[in-house]
Amino acid sequence: MMFDLTDHVVAVIGAGSGIGEAVAHACAEQGARVACLDLDEAAAARVAGELPGEGSPHESARIDITDADSVASALGALAERQGHLDGVVCTPGVNVRKPIVDYTPEDFRKVVDVNLNGSFNVLQSAARIMLPQKSGSIVLFASIRAAVVEPGQSVYAATKGGIVQLAKAGAAEFGSAGVRVNAIAPGVVETPLTAPIKASPEWYGAYATKSALGRWAQPREMAGPAAFLLSEAATFLTGTTLYVDGGWTAIDGRFQPPGMG
């Protein structure tokens, strides 16, 4: 029963689509009562209505992670209604692919505001609820771009590296109260964010062949690791970044030297 989330209250931010939607389903399948939170309230409500569970135990609400008050209000209201908050998963992210010299101040602020400021707001508000109850697990979403980059990914990569450091700092500050903080770093995943890449066969294929598994991930392949980090199976895991990247950051190219089969 180490992976069981029965009686856990879990807030999944970004639950209206992509990885967040898959995480919400995975948590519900493990028995959690899931709050689907998203900027798109209608999408969050749709997902909440589709989750498994007896007696419709799930709920939904709007959240804007760039607004600290919105985050505090949504998570605080959830904890008050349910009596506790056991897990928070923050999945939203945006990217503006441009060379550094072409970036505008507006581009910079957009990416930093959602990815880094938004993750900080979630981390802070979740911790303010979990520290007094002396338990809880917070899962932030970073990226392989926290470790490796390519042209056009400067600000996105910087924010994802910042999320890794936020997870470490949160782990250091909250650990004595029994609150854990970890990050997941996906590789390339088929989501609305990566739709422009999928539309280009050459680009899509190049990314597929970069990983050791030779393919893209599906959103559900990020959901299992998130549910794991929320569960009793991960009680001694904190301050870590779990690379769920199909081996992208493990291998150095795909060339097979002579004599290697």
Q: What is the mean pLDDT of the chain?
A: 95
Spatial separation of the C-alpha atoms in residues 135 and 32, rounded to whole Å: 16
Burial 194-233 (b: 16+ CB within 10 A, else e): beeeeeeeeebeebeebbeeeebbebebbbebbbbbbbee
Please report, rounded to a whole number, the percentage of residues in the chain having pLDDT higher than 70. 98
Give all strands of the β-sheet with 87-90 in edge-to-edge order: 59-62, 33-38, 9-13, 87-90, 136-141, 179-186, 241-244
Where is average pLDDT lowest: 32-36, 101-105, 190-194?
190-194
**67: helix, coil or strand?**
coil
Q: Catalytic site residue 156?
A: yes
Task: Please choose, from the candidates 144, 139, 165, 138, the residue with its C-alpha nearest in 3D space to the C-alpha of residue 156.
Answer: 144
Confidence (pLDDT) at 55: 76
Confidence band, pLDDT 50/70/90 cuts, at residue 14: very high
List residues bridging with 10 in a β-sheet. 34, 87
Please write the tens of the pLDDT for every residue from 61-71. Answer: 999 999 999 99
CB 241 within 8 A of CB 164: yes
Structure tokens at 68: 């600290």
Average pLDDT over residues 67-95: 97
CATH number given to 9-186+224-241: 3.40.50.720
| 253 pLDDT more than 90 | no
Exposed (0-12), middle (13-18) or buried (19+): which is 177, by Cβ within 10 Å? middle
CB neighbour list of residue 245: distance below 8 Å, 6 or more residues apart: 144, 185, 186, 187, 211, 217
Whether the CB-CB separation of 37 and 85 falls below 8 Å is answered with no
Taking each helix axis from N to C terminus, what angle separates 118-133 and 68-82, rounded to the nearest 10 degrees? 30
Query: Rounded to an integer, what distance in angstroms lies between the CA atom of residue 186 and that of residue 188?
Result: 6
- Map tokens 């190219």 to a residue: 253
Tell me if 16 sits within 8 A of 91, measured CB to CB: no
Q: Quick one: pLDDT at residue 260?
A: 67
Structure tokens at 208: 């597929």
Instruction: Output the pTM of the full model.
Output: 0.95
Q: How many helices (H) and strands (E) does the chain have?
A: 9, 7
Burial of 54 (0-12, 13-18, 19+ CB in 10 A): exposed
Q: Is the pLDDT of residue 32 over 70?
A: yes
Q: Distance between CA atoms of 202 and 205, rounded to whole angstroms? A: 5
- Position with higher pLDDT, 244 vs 257: 244
With 80 as the cut, is the pLDDT of residue 256 above it?
A: no
Give the bridge partners for 101, in sequence order: none
- Span 218-238, pLDDT tens digits: 999 999 999 999 999 999 999
**Where do the structural domains in the chain lie, given as residue ranges?**
9-186+224-241
Among residues 156, 204, 207, 243, which one is catalytic?
A: 156
